[in-house]
Structure 1
């Protein structure tokens, strides 16, 4: 880092990040969410109405009963049709809808209509489909692959094609990968005409939960909740040497909770927080790394988490409240690690105090906008009252809409709306309608990925690939749980280099989780282990979109920013090993459910949490080279080794780790007497 005493003069930053930097950061959001068209005129109105219709349909299905055989295909029809209208086939045709886009959208609707009108008879003949069944099924699969390509690039469609090729040509593969192979008719029938392929568990979650949470997040954003969370964090944390870093950590938690998007949280926060970080002495790459690390926490922060969290509930057949419960302690430990790194930064680099202009006091902000906190916790409150996750987010959305009218500056429909001409046109421009549109548009990339992931899950189910893969991993690990966990984390990490978190989790949940469960790891611990390592895809090149977006804002080097982000997050990423290597570590997940927690040993949970926190602190000090004061190389090695030992459950490793921490700290305390300056 640069000399903090001259940082402000050398940087010469304005209080706003340049438009060029923000535009470049938006490009990374487009890499994650697709490069959307910006339409005008009647085309923009048509797309808005279609997106609003999608939101209305899903809000209706949250409250009414719609058969699964109807809900999932209609959801996919909406997603595909909007994908072809919102995302261009190539950059040269951006900001317009071409004739082939209309044809693709019409074919998506036709394929779903054909499936629904076929009823139960259609599903019953999936093993011997008719020629028209196969034709529409092939069209549906091709459209899903193209929608994924438009929203997320070539890699995910390519992986899906590899899985489909594996299903078709299994008899030609060497052992142990070989299987009998399937004809095109049989494969298409399974993928298109059952609830095990395209319309399987991933689309089930997308159509019943993810879409509702994106609508909820859109209403929060358009009612001004995001701005309030940032203002609140600035007022609460500003002024002290560690205030800048603490502000990023707190604001990323508050912003990330409802959004669940790492890149969006990084860009939203970075555009206003980077000048503050630069003032107190953060170098460009370090500031970008901290912003990206904070954004990464959005994917693991209740109440929304990332889209993969909804899939965990579906795969494990548990309530979403149980997933939130499991995420509580790991999330606290993640932000504890970030707070430690921020505190060490302030001492290590001698950051100075600086005064930030506060928009208002914490008390005044809370008094004016307290209802935004109500929106944030209402989902959990409704679930604790016994509502299903679907109804909980539905009523939380109602609460968000209703409370927005408590103040004129947050009202989703302006109070003077009914005055003046052009009522219908002005209604389309209200924050309420923009939130309804944004909720549907925001889910398109995830929903398209879920539909494509259905192809992968279908192949794994049809061919038994998951059991074969787990047997191979266990064989390579020699039956060792530790090696199996390491190999599994590497598999998840490698897959995560190429695909988003949601896709990475789905692929690894069906092919890698069985390896852990075969060795006695509970299913909930295995899936949470995979989820947390899938999150690493956000900070791992070449798809490290959060650090790259942060680097665009700070003007730093993307890869150096990525390494700084790893420095901030690596202590917390040893936590998943604790809850798969030993039963006591499952206390970090609060035993996986409310029922198990009722009979749990709370002392054991507290013990493993404190041990993990000490391990994280040791790793933070070791990687930063600073504990009570600057650490020597020997002290750093001891602290890092201690951190790894404390991450491995068992009293021998814990005692050894704590002894090393005590020795390292004692050496720092005694050093001035032994080595006087």
Structure 2
């Protein structure tokens, strides 16, 4: 499997230099990736079948059933590639052969099982419900907005299997291009010693103060996120190193877990890599990935500002103390290993010079490989190169399964017109009011994110909820970025909150209280996206518009984030915190009158705080 993983990475890099026709490329990519899912991810059901056959091997190795599913995956994906033109012609004419239908149904079942193995069964169930809706939507009452004429088996298989509206659509394209290339880059960066350097530098960078441990962990999470691009993976990688330091500093288990989870989530909110959904945004907006990075820059600054302020407040609440960590001085680390930053910067520079994102990340990967020879301990010989290439592919497998299976949802929504109908329902429920529509949209995305991974929840919400926002005058970029942030924030929202659960497992804290602490640290990220859509000036937070307006509204938003830190930090009386909450909401409307009102309320809060403090110094 390591060999296949390395070969798929090589193929993905080669396609950058010698492009392959879109559907053929996606089918070929999935024909290797899907079998690897069954070989690499265990299944209780498959294990039981193997035991019945009395051919189960070591539990760490694939079973007979796993290999059988892998072989079936190859068969149903290689079959159309044998004569791709004839296959597509049959699909476009809706004249599929019996073998076409059987292969299409087989791929559907295999993808549902692949998703169940990689991210859990809920997304599989949702996909099945969409298929049932496609079959039986004509049985719904005619007056219902979501009823349709109904589609037979051939029509549904044709939609999902033969074109670019189903399995082989934009989500899988993103997995087969952006995501695989960035996971390869992240793996090479990791093998070159960058992860260790980022953690060491974070611990060395901050002076020894009571807030330094928390700030250090947050910074390390941001830097590690450039390697992993995954919130949960960053939380786990960081936690094993950072939890002992936070514990020595005096942080209770739950606040420490909240810091770890918030730092991990920052990995998929922050340039230069962001998460998988950001690549899909670039495709949907038909813009460059660099533009999406620009959209995310100011929200990222505000996100980390909120965390740092909360950490500063908590260091006083919990009476934390400075911790000495045995690492070289920051200057020495930068002089010796600072070259690890060069490939990250190179990606941005190359895209600014109009190189494609694909070519930019491939070149950066090559540079990271060459730079590994500057460190004898992490020099990448043939064995380490193969391991890094394999790790790059294996890191992309869960997202690939999700993206391919999401094609079922996207295909059904497109075929039945469900997206337009649901967006109309949302607007009707909100009585055409933008504020209510935005609140309903945020709630819907968060609820969806509780059940499915970030990428899947974004894909579903983008085709259903984005039109509702755009129908009320919200620009496409603002609508998609709003959905992106709420899809990501589902990872810190109770009751699932994967990153917080992972952090609580590391610290031994209560998982629910860890979720709530994480929510408190990330609160600005929940409120700032509303500014994107509720005011025309919200585009300034996406770095759009005159530079003066961008700077002014960013500063106003920073004051709002500081006000939110007072609200959640418990550093003053309830009247003061209530006033600060009102001020924060007013400031985030980003218009002249609300800003002035917000500043007045904030001034009143400061005055009340000073008076209260003089009367009661304790």
> Following TM superposition, by how much is the alpha carbon of 1:363 offset from its aligned partner in structure 2, in angstroms?
1.2
The equivalent of 1:394 in structure 2 is 362
Per the alignment, in what secondary structure is the counterpart of residue 543 of structure 2?
helix
Matched, 1:136 2:112: no
> Following TM superposition, by how much is the alpha carbon of 1:164 offset from its aligned partner in structure 2, in angstroms?
1.0
Residues 550-591 of structure 1: per-residue CA shift (max 9 Å, x gap):
111111001110011011111231010001011111110112
Range with greater deviation from structure 2 (401-410 or 537-546): 537-546
Q: Which runs of 5+ in 1 are unaligned?
A: 1-46, 414-426, 592-599
The equivalent of 1:118 in structure 2 is 83
Range with greater deviation from structure 2 (89-98 or 77-86): 89-98
- C-alpha contact (below 8 Å) 2:204/2:329 kept by paired residues: yes
- C-alpha contact (below 8 Å) 1:285/1:564 kept by paired residues: yes
The equivalent of 1:18 in structure 2 is none
Distance 1:518 1:676, change over 3 A: closer
Per the alignment, in what secondary structure is the counterpart of residue 374 of structure 2?
coil
C-alpha separation in 2, matches of 1:109 and 1:551: 40
Distance 1:449 1:676, change over 3 A: closer
The equivalent of 2:122 in structure 1 is 155
- C-alpha contact (below 8 Å) 1:238/1:247 kept by paired residues: no
Distance 1:624 1:63, change over 3 A: same
> Following TM superposition, by how much is the alpha carbon of 1:151 offset from its aligned partner in structure 2, in angstroms?
0.7
C-alpha separation in 2, matches of 1:266 and 1:80: 27
The equivalent of 2:50 in structure 1 is none
C-alpha separation in 1, matches of 2:320 and 2:356: 48
Matched, 1:608 2:553: yes
- C-alpha contact (below 8 Å) 1:69/1:116 kept by paired residues: no
1:30-109 correspondence runs (5 A): 47-90=1-44, 93=47, 94-109=59-74
Q: Which runs of 5+ in 2 are unaligned?
A: 48-58
Q: Determine which of 259, 263, 275 is the counterpart of 1:290.
A: 259
C-alpha separation in 2, matches of 1:675 and 1:330: 37
Matched, 1:661 2:602: yes
- C-alpha contact (below 8 Å) 1:579/1:588 kept by paired residues: yes
Matched, 1:364 2:309: no
> Following TM superposition, by how much is the alpha carbon of 1:303 offset from its aligned partner in structure 2, in angstroms?
0.9
- C-alpha contact (below 8 Å) 1:538/1:546 kept by paired residues: yes
> Following TM superposition, by how much is the alpha carbon of 1:92 offset from its aligned partner in structure 2, in angstroms?
8.1
C-alpha separation in 2, matches of 1:218 and 1:162: 36
- C-alpha contact (below 8 Å) 1:258/1:303 kept by paired residues: no
The equivalent of 2:408 in structure 1 is 455
C-alpha separation in 2, matches of 1:369 and 1:144: 43
Residues 129-185 of structure 1: per-residue CA shift (max 9 Å, x gap):
111111111111111111111111111111111111111111011311100110011
- C-alpha contact (below 8 Å) 2:46/2:63 kept by paired residues: no
The equivalent of 1:502 in structure 2 is 455
C-alpha separation in 1, matches of 2:428 and 2:95: 38
Range with greater deviation from structure 2 (379-388 or 195-204): 379-388
Q: Determine which of 315, 332, 350 is the counterpart of 1:346.
A: 315
The equivalent of 1:171 in structure 2 is 138
Residues 185-212 of structure 1: per-residue CA shift (max 9 Å, x gap):
1100110011111000000111111000
> Following TM superposition, by how much is the alpha carbon of 1:108 offset from its aligned partner in structure 2, in angstroms?
1.4
Q: Determine which of 488, 493, 501 is the counterpart of 1:540.
A: 493
- C-alpha contact (below 8 Å) 1:170/1:179 kept by paired residues: yes
Distance 1:676 1:144, change over 3 A: closer
Q: Determine which of 532, 536, 550 is the counterpart of 1:579.
A: 532
The equivalent of 1:256 in structure 2 is 225
Matched, 1:195 2:148: no
- C-alpha contact (below 8 Å) 1:87/1:150 kept by paired residues: yes
> Following TM superposition, by how much is the alpha carbon of 1:432 offset from its aligned partner in structure 2, in angstroms?
1.6
C-alpha separation in 2, matches of 1:392 and 1:125: 38
Give the TM-score, by structure 1 length.
0.87
- C-alpha contact (below 8 Å) 1:223/1:431 kept by paired residues: no
> Following TM superposition, by how much is the alpha carbon of 1:95 offset from its aligned partner in structure 2, in angstroms?
1.5
C-alpha separation in 1, matches of 2:310 and 2:209: 15
C-alpha separation in 2, matches of 1:201 and 1:252: 30
1:6-17 correspondence runs (5 A): none
Residues 15-63 of structure 1: per-residue CA shift (max 9 Å, x gap):
xxxxxxxxxxxxxxxxxxxxxxxxxxxxxxxx11111111111111122
> Following TM superposition, by how much is the alpha carbon of 1:543 offset from its aligned partner in structure 2, in angstroms?
2.5
Residues 274-311 of structure 1: per-residue CA shift (max 9 Å, x gap):
12212222111010011101111001111110111101
C-alpha separation in 1, matches of 2:617 and 2:6: 71
Distance 1:617 1:133, change over 3 A: same
Matched, 1:236 2:189: no
1:420-431 correspondence runs (5 A): 427=382, 430-431=383-384
The equivalent of 1:34 in structure 2 is none
- C-alpha contact (below 8 Å) 1:499/1:537 kept by paired residues: no
- C-alpha contact (below 8 Å) 2:187/2:227 kept by paired residues: no
Range with greater deviation from structure 2 (118-127 or 184-193): 118-127
Per the alignment, in what secondary structure is the counterpart of residue 189 of structure 1?
helix
> Following TM superposition, by how much is the alpha carbon of 1:674 offset from its aligned partner in structure 2, in angstroms?
4.5
Residues 434-461 of structure 1: per-residue CA shift (max 9 Å, x gap):
1111001110000000000111111111
- C-alpha contact (below 8 Å) 1:160/1:455 kept by paired residues: yes
> Following TM superposition, by how much is the alpha carbon of 1:675 offset from its aligned partner in structure 2, in angstroms?
5.0
Matched, 1:633 2:574: yes
Distance 1:92 1:107, change over 3 A: closer
The equivalent of 1:445 in structure 2 is 398
C-alpha separation in 2, matches of 1:158 and 1:329: 37
Range with greater deviation from structure 2 (446-455 or 659-668): 659-668
Per the alignment, in what secondary structure is the counterpart of residue 563 of structure 1?
helix
Per the alignment, in what secondary structure is the counterpart of residue 138 of structure 2?
helix
Q: Determine which of 144, 165, 180 is the counterpart of 1:211.
A: 180
The equivalent of 1:373 in structure 2 is 341
Range with greater deviation from structure 2 (550-559 or 538-547): 538-547
- C-alpha contact (below 8 Å) 2:589/2:595 kept by paired residues: yes
Give the TM-score, by structure 2 length.
0.95
C-alpha separation in 1, matches of 2:546 and 2:11: 45
1:590-609 correspondence runs (5 A): 590-591=543-544, 600-609=545-554
The equivalent of 1:411 in structure 2 is 379
Matched, 1:471 2:438: no
C-alpha separation in 2, matches of 1:504 and 1:642: 32
Matched, 1:514 2:479: no
C-alpha separation in 1, matches of 2:103 and 2:46: 30
